[in-house]
Structure formats: structure tokens, C-alpha cells
């Protein structure tokens, strides 16, 4: 019989866990529940102990991704459920994710609608990520950054070394599954407003969100990003040369610089493509 492990990364989410864990136990009474305490300073550990839930505690905060990796290593289930510990995700949706997973998928992601996004800024950013990831992979990506997902444990553990310690583990794992031809499905869900204060910081995480865009490309196919950029520099060089030749009958340094940039960007993309291929190579 397959066993289910539910992993909840949590940092100072005691108030949410007090209400969430009993609901989780009622929804999945046979499942292994693991709360990964990411250096909390509240009563997270005491609440887990009082409710009979396994708690893995870190002496200091290592990040959401680090908590996910630690939980995945410790879990004994054949199937893993990842969900936030802040009360946003409905335990009743776990059964729906598992049902979809049994249809032949290796990962099923709970896709939030616009009303479930944490503010307009986050909604716009996630829309851009989804569009770019869809263009890169050729498959519809409904919610690239959702932390509510069901995965097959053996497949997920193949990519633990790729996962960052910070907040972008959903992006990394999703693109890794697509790259490795492991089927991914999306299931619409409603996410509630989180309990307590968000750990998102606008300036720090705004930069992080921009970096995610480049990570999407480098985790799947760098050439799909670098070739268009290279072509743009080449065309700008040609346009600049046409202008300067028509008005001065000469070739300027700017045209040469733009053409050189085109070659350099293309070569960087070619090298990145080879590095990406080596990253996913599995020894027989």
C-alpha cells in the first residue's frame, strides 16, 4: 500500500498550524504529517508536540526551499504533498490532487486563480512567469510558483540538488520536471488569505522575482532566451549600419559593438545549453 507524506514548511506559523493540523489529520488520517520548523521563535514545536505531529526543527532559518528539501529527505511516503503552513491551502483539496496524480502524472500543482493571488503585484508577476514558462516549455503552465503540489517522491528527490534554499523551489522543481519529460498537471484551487504576516519583502523579493525569470530559461533551454537576444543585437547592429552608411557612408564602432554583442550572447547561450544538459544527465 502506498503511503502519503504531507510536508509543511513553517516559520512562525503557530497560529495557523493550531487550526490547520487538526483539519489535515481529519482529511488524511493515514498520512504522515511533517512540519519543518524553519527556525521559528514562536510555539510551533509545542503545538506540533501537543497534536502528535512530527516536527523537524532548525536552530536558525535556512529558507523555505531548505525546509522543503529537509522534509523530502525525511518523508517515508511514496507520494509527497507540499503545502504552506500559513493556512492558505485547503486540506480537502489533497484528495483532488491525488486523484489527478493517479491519472499518470508525476506532479500535480494546485493552480490559484486571480482572486487567490496575494495582491495585484504578485498576480501580475505570476502571470508573467506563467506566460514565459509556457513559451519555454511548450506546455501550459497555469501557476508556476504555487507551493501546493503532489509529487512522486522518487522523481522529486532526483532534483533536490537543484533546489535553492530560498523561496523559488516551486519554479525550479516545475521546470526540472518538464525538462526531464515527467508529466505535470494543474488543478484549479482556491487559496485563502494567509493567517498572520507574510514573510515576503517587496524590495528583496522584487529582485528575486526578476531572477526567477532568468532561472526559468536556464532550467529548461537557455538558447530559447539567448538566441532571440542575440538576434536582436544583430538586427540593431544592421539597422545602425544602414543609418550611418546612408547618412555618412561609413561603418561606426556602434554597429561593430552590437554585432560583437550578438556573437557573445549567442556563445553564452550555447555554453549555458551544454551546462544545462550536463546538469540533468543521469549516470547509468
CATH of the domain at 15: 3.90.550.10
Residues 67 and 186 in one domain: yes
- 529558507: which residue's cell? 63
Pick the last residue of a domain from 220, 237, 262.
220
Residues 137 and 251 in one domain: no
* Domain containing residue 269: 223-280
Residues 190 and 238 in one domain: no
Residues 139 and 204 in one domain: yes
Residues 55 and 190 in one domain: yes
Residues 84 and 144 in one domain: yes
Q: State the greatest distance between any 2 C-alpha atoms of the chain, in Å, as a whole number.
A: 82
> What is the tens place of the pLDDT at every residue in 169-222?
898 899 889 988 999 999 999 877 655 555 555 556 666 666 776 777 777 788
Find the mean pLDDT for residues 30-43: 93
Residues 156 and 167 in one domain: yes
Q: Which regions of the chain does DSSP assign to beta strands (E)?
A: 4-10, 32-37, 54-57, 79-82, 107-112, 149-152, 184-189
Give the 3-state secondary structure of residue 58.
coil
Pick the last residue of a domain from 220, 237, 253.
220
Residues 179 and 112 in one domain: yes
CA-angle at 270, arms to 267 and 273, nearest 5°: 150
- What is the total count of domains within the chain? 2
Residues 120 and 22 in one domain: yes
Residues 228 and 216 in one domain: no
Q: In what order do the strands lie in the sheet with 79-82?
A: 54-57, 32-37, 4-10, 79-82, 149-152, 107-112, 184-189
Quick check: pTM over 0.75? yes
Tell whether the model's pLDDT for residue 97 goes beyond 70: yes
Q: Determine the pLDDT at residue 193.
A: 63
Rounded Cα gap, residues 83 and 24, in angstroms: 11
Residues 203 and 242 in one domain: no
Residues 64 and 30 in one domain: yes
In total, the chain counts a number of residues equal to 284
Name the pLDDT band for 133 (thresholds 50, 70, 90).
confident
Amino acid at each position: 500500500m502506498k503511503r502519503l507524506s504531507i510536508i509543511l514548511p513553517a516559520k512562525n506559523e503557530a497560529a495557523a498550524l493550531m487550526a490547520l493540523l487538526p483539519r489535515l489529520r481529519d482529511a488524511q488520517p493515514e498520512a504522515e504529517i511533517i512540519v519543518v520548523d524553519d527556525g521559528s521563535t514562536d510555539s510551533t514545536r509545542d503545538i506540533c508536540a501537543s497534536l502528535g505531529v512530527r516536527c523537524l526543527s532548525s536552530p536558525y532559518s535556512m529558507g523555505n526551499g531548505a525546509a522543503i528539501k529537509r522534509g523530502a529527505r525525511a518523508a517515508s511516503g511514496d507520494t509527497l504533498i507540499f503545502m504552506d503552513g500559513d493556512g492558505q491551502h485547503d486540506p480537502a483539496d489533497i484528495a483532488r490532487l491525488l486523484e489527478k496524480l493517479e491519472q499518470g502524472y508525476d506532479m500535480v500543482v494546485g493552480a490559484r486563480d486571480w482572486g487567490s493571488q496575494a495582491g495585484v503585484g504578485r498576480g501580475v508577476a505570476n502571470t508573467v512567469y506563467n506566460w514565459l514558462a509556457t513559451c519555454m516549455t511548450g506546455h501550459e503552465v497555469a501557476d508556476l510558483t504555487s507551493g501546493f503540489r503532489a509529487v512522486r517522491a522518487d522523481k522529486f528527490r532526483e532534483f533536490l540538488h537543484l533546489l535553492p534554499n530560498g523561496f523559488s523551489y516551486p519554479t525550479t522543481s516545475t521546470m526540472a520536471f518538464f525538462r526531464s519529460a515527467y508529466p505535470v498537471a494543474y488543478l484549479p484551487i482556491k487559496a485563502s488569505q494567509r493567517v498572520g504576516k507574510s514573510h515576503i519583502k517587496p524590495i528583496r523579493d522584487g529582485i528575486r522575482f526578476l531572477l526567477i525569470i532568468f532561472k526559468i530559461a536556464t532550467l529548461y533551454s537557455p538558447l530559447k532566451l539567448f538566441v532571440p537576444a542575440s538576434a536582436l543585437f544583430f538586427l540593431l547592429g544592421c539597422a545602425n549600419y544602414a543609418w550611418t552608411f546612408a547618412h555618412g557612408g561609413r561603418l561606426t564602432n556602434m554597429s561593430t559593438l552590437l554585432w560583437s554583442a550578438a556573437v557573445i550572447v549567442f556563445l553564452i547561450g550555447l555554453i549555458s545549453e551544454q551546462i544545462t544538459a550536463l546538469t540533468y544527465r543521469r549516470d547509468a
